[in-house]
Each structure stands twice: as structure tokens, then as C-alpha cells.
Amino acid sequence: MLERICHLFTADRGKHLDRISDALPNGTPREPAHPMSDQELARAIREFHTGPVSDRTLAELSRRFAEVPRDA
């Protein structure tokens, strides 16, 4: 998931992404000063879902699907 988030910032990796990157390993992320509105969150989710699915994700889903017991 973090890899997909990083792809959203390829043009401008700026201080915001650096701050997130530094905070995650230290366990010190903070909430944004101005939380997203419902519309901003909906737009972000739509953009996230339109991104391409990685080969790794497809392989994992295929593996899980193969493990599901089938009714006879």
C-alpha cells in the first residue's frame, strides 16, 4: 500500500512525504492539522482505486483464491 501511495507523489515528493516516511518507522505519525473533508476522502479513494494493480497483488489474490474450498 505504501508503494502505491509513493507513486501518487512521484512528481513532487516534498516535505510532506518525507515527514510520513520518517514518522512511520519511529511510530510517531501525527494527525494532519486540517483533516480531509468527506469529498476529499472520496476523491482520494477513487484515485487510489484507479491505480494499476501490482503483479504481486494479483499473485497473492490468485493464491488465496486457489486455497478457498469449493462446494461439490
Residue-range definition of the domain harbouring residue 35: 2-67
Name the pTM for this structure: 0.35
Nearest to 44 by CA among 13, 14, 1: 1
41 part of a folded domain = yes
Let me know if residue 12 belongs to a domain.
yes
Asked which of 20-24, 37-41, 62-66 is least confident by mean pLDDT, the reply is 20-24
Any domain includes 38: yes
Residue 34 belongs to some domain of the structure: yes
Phi-psi label, residue 51: left if phi above 0, alpha if psi -120 to 50, beta otherwise = beta
What's the domain count of the chain? 1
Q: Is residue 72 part of a domain?
A: no
Whether 57 is in a domain gets the answer yes
51 within a domain of the structure (yes/no): yes
Provide the greatest CA pair distance for the chain.
56
pLDDT tier at 42, thresholds 50, 70, 90: very high
